[in-house]
């Protein structure tokens, strides 16, 4: 397994991952099924986001990574935000991640976050904020498996749900 940045050659694997979410009735990556979806444009957008180009207001630069196996199958996706905007200090944090439905509970989330924390360290980060919905026990376990220290619980001003905030020291 390795962590890679998305590339134009991985379209088949991306569509397979998006299909996995669709079959599970989850909304992630459903843009792949829109009539006007062009994969190369999507990849170019991700690259621009990592270079702080064409960001939507309130967004910060972020680098997207895919955890893949030896066959190129996408086992997880992470987004490493280069710094925190004020709203991300409350909810969202430095790292967001997701694991396709059929790949959950296999340890890939823990590996994905571990590798993403290594990328954060390479970027010079010393401490990383990671948040998850308090009722997402699996995500909380992934964070604590990577030395996440619980700071507090807040109520999301977007969803109204309880959100747990964790810090990981990566010095």
What CATH class is the domain 2-169? alpha beta
| Distant-in-sequence contacts of 82-90, Cβ < 8 A, 24+ apart | 82/52, 82/123, 84/60, 84/129, 85/58, 85/59, 85/60, 87/58, 88/60, 88/129, 89/129, 90/154, 90/157
| pLDDT tens per residue, range 75-126 | 999 999 999 998 898 889 999 999 999 999 999 999 999 999 999 999 999 9
Q: HSE on the CB side for 166, CA within 13 Å? A: 22
What is the spatial distance between Cα 62 and Cα 78, in angstroms, rounded to a whole number? 10
pLDDT band at 55 (very low <50, low <70, confident <90, very high): confident
What's the predicted TM-score (pTM) here?
Answer: 0.94
DSSP-derived secondary structure letter, 127? E
pLDDT band at 152 (very low <50, low <70, confident <90, very high): very high
Strand order in the sheet with 162-169: 127-133, 162-169, 149-155
Nearest alpha-carbon partner for 49 in 58, 62, 68, 33: 62
| pLDDT tens per residue, range 2-54 | 999 999 999 999 999 999 999 999 999 999 999 999 999 999 999 999 998 88
Looking at the predicted structure, is the pLDDT value of residue 159 above 90?
Answer: no
Would you kindly state where each structural domain of the chain is located, as residue ranges?
Answer: 2-169
pLDDT band at 127 (very low <50, low <70, confident <90, very high): very high
């Amino acid at each position: 397994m390795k962590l890679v940045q998305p590339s134009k050659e991985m379209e088949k694997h991306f569509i397979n991952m998006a299909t996995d979410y669709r079959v599970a009735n989850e909304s992630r990556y459903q843009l792949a099924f829109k009539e006007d979806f062009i994969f190369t444009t999507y990849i170019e957008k991700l690259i621009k986001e990592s270079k702080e180009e064409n960001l939507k207001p309130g967004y910060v630069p972020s680098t997207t990574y895919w955890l893949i196996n030896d066959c190129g199958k996408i086992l997880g996706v992470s987004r490493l935000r280069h710094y925190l905007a004020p709203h991300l200090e409350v909810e969202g944090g430095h790292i967001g991640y997701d694991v396709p439905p059929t790949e959950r509970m296999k340890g890939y989330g823990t590996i994905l976050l571990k590798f993403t924390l290594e990328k954060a360290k390479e970027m010079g980060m010393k401490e990383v904020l990671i948040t998850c919905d308090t009722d997402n026990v699996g995500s909380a376990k992934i964070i604590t498996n990577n030395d996440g220290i619980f700071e507090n619980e807040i109520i999301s001003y977007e969803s109204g749900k309880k959100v747990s905030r964790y810090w990981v020291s990566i010095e």
